[in-house]
Amino acid sequence: MMPMVALVLMRQGVELWRQQGLPEGEFIVVQLLARLAPPPTV
**Would you write out the chain's pLDDT as a tens digit for each of its 42 residues?**
777 888 888 888 988 888 888 777 778 888 888 888 877 777
pLDDT for position 10:
87
Contact between residue 17 and residue 34 where contact means Cβ atoms under 8 Å apart: no
Maximum Cα–Cα distance for the chain, whole Å?
47
Rounded Cα distance between 15 and 8, Å, is: 7
pLDDT for position 29:
82
Rounded Cα distance between 34 and 36, Å, is: 6
pLDDT for position 5:
84
